[in-house]
Amino acid sequence: MSVSVLTVADRAGVSVSTVSRALRGVPGISAVTRKRVQEAADELGYVVSPSASRLATGRTRTIAVVVPLLSKWFFAEVIAAAGRVLSREGYDVLLTELSTPELRAEFFGSPRLHGRSDGALVVALQLTPEELATLGAQGQAVALVGSERAGASSVRVEDRIGGLAATRHLLNLGHERIAFLGIQESPGSPLGGVPPAERLLGYRDALAEAGLPADPALELGVENTVDDGVAAMASLLTMADPPTAVVAASDELAFGALSTLRGAGLDVPADFSVVGYDNHEFARVVGLTTIDHSVADQGRLAAEALVASLAGQPAAVGRIEPRLVVRGSTAPPRRLRVGS
């Protein structure tokens, strides 16, 4: 039925060892033999059995990509970019979505990757030391996107610089009351753990730099959804002394904020300025000024680091410098323009 190394060997008139070596391109095979084997394999339509090969070598040439949520643009984008390099390098991609605390507990509670993958590319999850150890115990090389851990490769996004750049931009335009719309996932959220507060720190840095006081009332923390952005912006507008601009920690939050502002009859950027964070595919069409942090590159770099570490290289950490993308959602505050 299925053609195996033996079939090819018979046809080529060599041993199975030679077939195996010839087909994998290992050195130490005469060119003529190699050619003969290759031809026999082609004629028979032979294709190696992954299971057998994996069993014999102990390596799977598969990478598990672990994400909290598939349906968010950010994750899909990271996976896509990572997948492209992995498949180019000959790795299969095993997809795992850990969308609930239960799934997460289950996943890390048993050696679910054992024998299934050689490495895990973990996106956004803030792994506990135990979770990381579990991965190691299963013989997985690890690469992280959105967090850093000793012993694992990772790609580090300089979010503090991003937060700084976003806020400085507003400051330069003349804004003095600037709110920060941060991400604060609830314990039950798939993201779990503590999300990086660096964007907030960058925001504070910029304020301090400008000699402006940090007003805690202007620092909000909500879940990373458009809906929460809507609600948070609404609450900002009801303040006695409302801000004239907001730095959102994600574009989704910014989209929500824009929606609220429009609904309130306010003009963006004439009445209110908004800066997002992500450079989401929809940011351009909405004209959102935002911070680009090379989402696809994050996936690409993590995948490359993982491949390298499976090739024996030491764990590496890539760096990404966010940059401001100015579009139409930011302008000087009305007060200034009126006065001019």
Which residues in this chain contact its own copies in the complex, by CB under 8 A? 45, 47, 49-52, 54-55, 60, 65, 69-73, 75-77, 79-80, 83-84, 87, 92-97, 99, 110-111, 114-116, 226-227, 230, 255-256, 259, 281-282, 285-286
Would you say 47 or 133 has its CB closer to its own copies? 47
Would you say 27 or 90 has its CB closer to DNA? 27
Question: Site for DNA (CB under 7 A): which residue of 35, 39, 42, 56?
Answer: 56
And the tokens for 151? Answer: 């012993």
Least gap, CB of 138 to DNA (angstroms): 13
Which is it for strands 273-275 and 317-320: parallel, antiparallel or unpaired?
Answer: unpaired
Q: CB of 292 within 8 A of CB of 250?
A: no
105 binding partner (options its own copies, DNA, none; Cβ < 5 to 8 Å by kind): none
15 lies in the binding site for DNA (CB under 7 A)? yes
Nearest to 174 by CA among 330, 14, 37, 17: 330
21 lies in the binding site for DNA (CB under 7 A)? yes
338 lies in the binding site for DNA (CB under 7 A)? no
Letter for the amino acid at 37? V
220 binding partner (options DNA, its own copies, none; Cβ < 5 to 8 Å by kind): none
Burial letters 132-153, b for 16+ CB under 10 A, else e: bebbeebbbbbbbbbbebeebb
Question: Site for DNA (CB under 7 A): which residue of 25, 45, 58, 188?
Answer: 58
Question: Site for DNA (CB under 7 A): which residue of 14, 165, 249, 303?
Answer: 14
β-pair partners for 126: none
Burial of residue 225 (number of CB atoms within 10 Å: 0-12, 13-18, 19+): middle
Question: Site for DNA (CB under 7 A): which residue of 39, 42, 43, 49?
Answer: 49
53 lies in the binding site for DNA (CB under 7 A)? yes
Question: Site for DNA (CB under 7 A): which residue of 39, 42, 43, 55?
Answer: 55
**C-alpha angle 316/307/31, rounded to 5°?**
135
Integer CA distances (angstroms), 140 to 111, 204, 304, 315, 325, in order: 10, 38, 15, 13, 38
238 lies in the binding site for DNA (CB under 7 A)? no
